[in-house]
Chains A and B, each alone.
Chain A
Amino acid sequence: MALIFIRTLVIFVTTFIVMRLMGKRQIGEMQPYELVITLLIAELACIPMADNSIPLLYGIVSILTVYLLHQIVCILDLKLPGAKVVLGGSPSIVLNKNGIDDTQLKKNNLDVTDLIASLRTEGYFALDAIEYALYESEGTFSALPKKDYEQMQSSLPIIIVDEGKFDEKNIERTKRSKAYFLNALKEQGCSSEKKLLVMTVDGNGKVYMQQIGKKYKVFHLNWEEKLW
């Protein structure tokens, strides 16, 4: 039994560390340790039930061990202020007044398109309409829009440059060429698309552009008509 206790402990700690390293994308809406427990309990309960040659006590002791660890983690989570951050992680502010925080996105194994998708699920379509956006430690997403955000998203923005690469299909949708957008970038003091973290344009020609490590810019292209 002591053997099973220690083996379960080792697997718990290993799975927990791996889940923490995987970042928020893997977690969904549970705390990392809750997910570990959910994964372990299902397996631990199944194996002795299905395999007659394994004493049922092995499964019972394993599950008791997981329960014990859960109770200990809960106490640490509630009583030790530092433990909460270590065990559950801290919220990541991925969009602030300066624009997208690329470092925070990478820390959580996310990219700009993931952020834009999360914003869309919350009902926000324009990156410049958002004051702050963050991923909570359990993986949920929340965003604080600017006061007049509804006027800022009158048309759906599409990605023209995503982390240094042009999106050919979206360029076609704008009925413009790569050279046209490169020119627009140069006018804004950016020599190449490779320096860009993101560039989006909406149907009115409003551009959201952010160079890697710099504050975002919003400018308008002179489009005669609304494209979409």
Chain B
Amino acid sequence: MIRTLASIVITLLLIFGLSWYEMRYVDRIFEHFNAMLLSLRQKTESGTALYEDGTAVQTYWDKQRHRMHIWLPHSSLLEVDYQMDEALGFLYLKDYEGALPKIDVLIGLSENIPDSYSLNLGNIF
């Protein structure tokens, strides 16, 4: 009986601990990524963004992405990689009009990905 109760408590702690860490971790990474993208968007809109600004955002994303694979389905992260490469291409060419829609898509993804794995009724059903 005590062993069964202990196993219940340990499993509960493990599951809730993992859930709490996952939510905090994923939210924090995407919040930071979103802030970097918003700043890149401002610079792109004003025509002052450099290719290096883009690569700084990409470097941050690449670092986090590997750990993110533990928590999120890999297909969700692939879309970010694709849009990021496209945006960088436009920035390299200094084509700000082409880069803006790509950065907007990335901003949308950085808001939607954590939302689609957060705890709410819509996601459960």
> A181 vs B28: C-alpha distance in the bound complex, in angstroms?
82
Stretch at the interface among A62-70, A88-96, A114-122, A182-190: A62-70
The DSSP consensus for interface residues of chain A is helix
Q: Which parts of A67-84 form the interface with B (CB within 8 Å)?
A: 67-68, 71-72, 74-75, 78
Contact of B72 among A2, A10, A55 (CB under 8 A): A55
Nearest A residue (CB) for B77: A53
In the complex, chain A residues whose CB is within 8 Å of the CB of B69: 55
Nearest A residue (CB) for B8: A71
Nearest A residue (CB) for B11: A68
Q: Does A177 contact B (CB under 8 A)?
A: no
Q: A64-B11, A71-B11, A72-B8 are in contact. Are A1 and B22 (CB under 8 A)?
A: yes
A55 in contact with B19 (CB, 8 Å): no
With an 8 Å Cβ cutoff, the count of chain A residues facing the other chain is: 22
Q: Does B46 contact A (CB under 8 A)?
A: no
Q: Does B90 contact A (CB under 8 A)?
A: no
A6 in contact with B8 (CB, 8 Å): no
In the complex, chain A residues whose CB is within 8 Å of the CB of B124: 3, 6-7, 10
Q: A3-B119, A61-B15 are in contact. Are A53 and B75 (CB under 8 A)?
A: yes
> A178 vs B22: C-alpha distance in the bound complex, in angstroms?
74
Binary interface profile of A, 43-60, with partner B (CB < 8 Å = 1, else 0)?
000000000111101000
With an 8 Å Cβ cutoff, the count of chain B residues facing the other chain is: 27
The DSSP consensus for interface residues of chain B is helix
A53 in contact with B73 (CB, 8 Å): yes
Count CB-based A-B contacts (< 8 Å).
62
Contact of B73 among A2, A54, A65 (CB under 8 A): A54
Q: Does A5 contact B (CB under 8 A)?
A: yes
Q: Which parts of B3-30 form the interface with A (CB within 8 Å)?
A: 4-5, 7-8, 11-12, 14-16, 18-19, 22-23
Contact of B118 among A3, A67, A68 (CB under 8 A): A3
Shortest CB–CB separation between residue A35 and chain B, in angstroms?
Answer: 20
In the complex, chain A residues whose CB is within 8 Å of the CB of B23: 1-2
B19 in contact with A2 (CB, 8 Å): yes
In the complex, chain B residues whose CB is within 8 Å of the CB of A61: 15, 18-19
Q: A2-B119, A7-B124, A53-B74 are in contact. Are A71 and B19 (CB under 8 A)?
A: no
Q: Does B71 contact A (CB under 8 A)?
A: yes
B18 in contact with A6 (CB, 8 Å): no
A64 in contact with B4 (CB, 8 Å): no
In the complex, chain B residues whose CB is within 8 Å of the CB of A65: 15
In the complex, chain B residues whose CB is within 8 Å of the CB of A54: 73-74
B70 in contact with A71 (CB, 8 Å): no
Q: Does B59 contact A (CB under 8 A)?
A: no
> A208 vs B11: C-alpha distance in the bound complex, in angstroms?
57
Nearest A residue (CB) for B75: A53
In addition to A1-B18, A54-B74, 18 A-B residue pairs with Cβ atoms within 8 Å of each other are: A3-B119, A3-B124, A5-B15, A5-B19, A53-B75, A54-B73, A55-B71, A55-B73, A57-B71, A61-B19, A64-B15, A67-B11, A68-B12, A71-B11, A74-B4, A75-B1, A75-B4, A75-B5
Would you give 5 A-B contacts (Cβ < 8 Å), ordered by A?
Answer: A1-B22, A6-B119, A53-B74, A68-B11, A74-B4
7 A-B pairs closest in CB distance: A2-B19, A1-B19, A53-B74, A68-B11, A2-B119, A1-B22, A53-B75
